[in-house]
Amino acid sequence: MTTTFDLGALFRRFGLLIAIAVLVFGLALLSPQFLAVQNVLNLLLQATVNAIIAAGMTLVILTAGIDLSVGSVLALTAVITADVLQAGVPVVLAVVIGLGAGAVTGLVNGLLITLGRIPPFIATLGMMTLARGLALSYAQGRPITGLPDRFLLVGTSSMLGIPTPIWITAVVYGAGMFVLRRTVLGRYIYAIGNSSRAARFTGIPVRSATVAVYVISGALAALAGMILTARLNSAQPIMGLQYELNAIAAVVVGGAALSGGEGGLGGTFLGALLMAIIANAINILNISPFVAQVLQGSVILAALLLHGLSRRNQ
Q: Where do contacts with another protein occur on this chain (CB under 8 A)?
A: 68, 112, 116-119, 121-123, 125-134, 136-137, 140-141, 242, 245, 248-249, 252, 257-259, 288-298, 300-301, 304-305, 308, 312
CB of 104 to another protein, least distance (A): 15
CB of 243 to another protein, least distance (A): 13
**Nearer residue to another protein within complex by CB, 47 or 76:** 76
CB of 281 to another protein, least distance (A): 15
Q: Specify whether the CB–CB gap between 121 and 68 falls below 8 A.
A: yes
**Nearer residue to another protein within complex by CB, 133 or 146:** 133
Q: Specify whether the CB–CB gap between 278 and 294 falls below 8 A.
A: no
**Nearer residue to another protein within complex by CB, 155 or 255:** 255
Residue 64 gets the label, from left (phi > 0), alpha (psi -120 to 50) or beta, of: left
CB of 156 to another protein, least distance (A): 30
**Nearer residue to another protein within complex by CB, 206 or 227:** 206
**Cross-strand pairs, 132:** none
**Nearer residue to another protein within complex by CB, 168 or 276:** 276
CB of 264 to another protein, least distance (A): 17
CB of 30 to another protein, least distance (A): 21
The torsion angles phi and psi of 6, rounded to 5 degrees, stand at -110, 105
d(Cα 179, Cα 186) in Å, to the nearest integer? 5
d(Cα 30, Cα 56) in Å, to the nearest integer? 35
**Nearer residue to another protein within complex by CB, 73 or 172:** 73
CB-based contacts of 260, cutoff 8 Å, min separation 6: 61, 62, 63, 64, 65, 192, 193, 194
Query: What is the number of alpha carbons within 13 Å of residue 89 lying toward its C-beta?
Result: 14
CB-based contacts of 10, cutoff 8 Å, min separation 6: none
CB of 91 to another protein, least distance (A): 28
Q: Name the pairing type of β-strands 158-159 and 234-235.
A: unpaired
CB of 229 to another protein, least distance (A): 19
- Tell me the C-alpha to C-alpha distance, in Å, between residue 170 and each of 46, 177, 282: 14, 11, 25
**Nearer residue to another protein within complex by CB, 20 or 118:** 118
**Nearer residue to another protein within complex by CB, 100 or 126:** 126
The torsion angles phi and psi of 161, rounded to 5 degrees, stand at 80, 0
**Cross-strand pairs, 301:** none
